[in-house]
Amino acid sequence: MSARVTRSSRSSRAFAIIAGCAVVILIAAPWWAGRADMRLFSEIFLYLSLACLWNLLAGYAGLVSVGQQAFVGFGGYVLFGLAIFWGVSPLFALPIIAILGVLVAVPVAALIFRLRGAYFAIGTWVVAEIFRLLASQISALGGGSGTSLPVSVVKSIASSRATRESVVYWTALALAILVIITTVFVLRSRKGLALTAIRDNELAAGSLGVEIWQTKFIVYVLTAGLTSAIGALIFLQKIRITPDAAFSVNDWTAFVIFMVVIGGIGTLEGPIIGTLIFFVLRETLADLGTIYLMILGLVAIAIMLFAPKGVWGYVKSRYGIELFPITHRVKFEEE
């Protein structure tokens, strides 16, 4: 009998096949889904991406940010600025925006990394507030009341409405897949091992030689860039932007935190399951308005108190299932 170490498991192989089929079906959505469904799907993909990134930040790097709306809004505003001032086509602008997001995140991180733990969280929020106030000072982008994307720029994506909507939809899907693949690769890399160590015990990780500051910095800056690109796509779909909508703590951080916490923080599967649960709740309860938001708050508190590992944490500890091949396992084989 020989033993070998592998990362894949029966569940991860089955999931890869199912996920592959799901992606093919989703790529074909413009041919089988209605317009409203496609809008909903795009929104799910964008939220899924935000949730995966926040999970990487808070669940692995221990950087609990309540200010990711800074980068969502930044991406949105840069998209509108590039389009309105220089006529840059939105889809071409996405990679530029991701790079700009990274560049902006460098000085931000240098400043707020001086704050520890929960103070770091509020520091990120202050940064988001500063971004919001600065955006509302730009009179060429409508100041506090915001602005719309010019028709010519919208038309530059594709002349017919149906094609345009399909293109935005595919871009959102591609971005979600990119984010998931990026997080899987980050976690399988050396840095990922460092991150998992930091997640489990920061002090111990540091004493074993893990570069904590540097690792956290890379994760922060990387998520900032991707979050900016997601923000750009969110507001490309909305066609209109205002400082309050772009830098909303509820829309871009509270909901995202809710998804990750419910699904299971510190696991890759958690944010995906959490996003699906969130949208099921929203589609069934959103008519309740503020009551619905109160229910969300209550559920988040209850989960944190009674099941802090979330839905996937429970499944994982109970059944040992893992959908993404991350953990090393020892496999015994008969010869």
Partner 1 sequence: MDWVNSILQGILLGGLYALFAAGLSLIFGVMRLVNIAHGDLIVLAAFLGLTITSTFGLHPLAAIIIVVPAMAVIGYLLQALILNRTLGDNILPPLLVTFGLSVLLQNGLLEIYTADPQKLNAGAISTANVALGPLYVGVQPLLMFGVSIGVIASLQWIFYRTALGRAFRATSDNAEIAQLMGLNKAHVFALAMALSMAVVAVAGIFLAMRTSFTPASGPGRLIFGFEAVIIGGLGNLWGTLAGGVILGVAQAIGAQINPGWQILAGHFAFLVVLAIRPRGLFPRVEH
Among 130, 186, 285, 307, binds partner 1 (CB under 8 A): 130
By CB under 8 A, tell whether 213 contacts partner 1: no
Q: CA-CA distance, 223 to 205, in Å (whole number)?
A: 22
The encoded tokens of residue 244 equal 């309050």
Residue 119 or 185 with smaller CB distance to partner 1: 119
**Contact between residue 264 and residue 280 where contact means Cβ atoms under 8 Å apart:** no
Window of 35-43, 159-167, 232-240, 257-265 that interacts with partner 1 by CB under 8 A: 257-265
State how far the Cα of 90 lies from the Cα of 158, in Å rounded to an integer: 11
- Alpha-carbon span 304 to 262, nearest angstrom: 8
Q: What is the smallest separation between the CB atom of 127 and partner 1, expressed in angstroms?
A: 8
Pull the structure tokens for residue 55. Answer: 């999970």
Please give the distance of CA 301 from its chain centroid, rounded to a whole number: 21
CA dihedral 113, 116, 122, 125 (to 10 degrees): 20
Scanning residues 275 to 294, which ones bind partner 1 (CB under 8 A)? 290-291, 293-294
Q: 3: helix, coil or strand?
A: strand
DSSP state of 59: I
Stretch that binds partner 1, among 77-85, 130-138, 182-190, 204-212 (CB under 8 A): 130-138
Q: Taking contact as CB under 8 A, which single stretch among the options 70-78, 114-122, 154-162, 176-184 is the one that binds partner 1?
A: 114-122
Ramachandran category for residue 306: left, alpha or beta (phi over 0 → left; psi -120 to 50 → alpha): alpha
Within 221-250, the residues that bind partner 1 by CB under 8 A are 249-250
Measured from the CB of residue 209, what is the shortest distance to partner 1 in angstroms?
A: 21
Confirm or reject binding of residue 121 to partner 1 (CB under 8 A). Answer: yes
Nearer to partner 1, 172 or 259 (CB): 259
CB of 73 to partner 1, least distance (A): 15
Asked if residues 232 and 117 have their Cβ atoms less than 8 Å apart, the reply is no
305 contributes a contact to partner 1 by CB under 8 A = yes
- Among 50, 51, 57, 58, the residue binding partner 1 under the rule CB under 8 A is 58
Judged by CB under 8 A, does residue 181 bind partner 1? no
Is 111 a binding residue for partner 1 by CB under 8 A? The answer is: yes
H or E segment at 333?
strand 329-333
**How many residues sit in the footprint of partner 1 (CB under 8 A)?**
40
Contacts of 25 (CB under 8 A, 6+ apart): none
Is 133 one of the binding residues for partner 1 (CB under 8 A)? yes
Dist. CA 286–CA 143, nearest whole Å: 30
- Rounded CA gap, 112 and 74, in Å? 17
CB of 266 vs partner 1, minimal distance in Å? 9
Could you list the residues that contact partner 1 (CB under 8 A)? 58, 62, 64, 66, 111-112, 114-115, 117-119, 121-123, 125-126, 129-130, 133-134, 136-137, 249-250, 254, 257, 261, 265, 290-291, 293-294, 296-298, 300-301, 304-305, 308
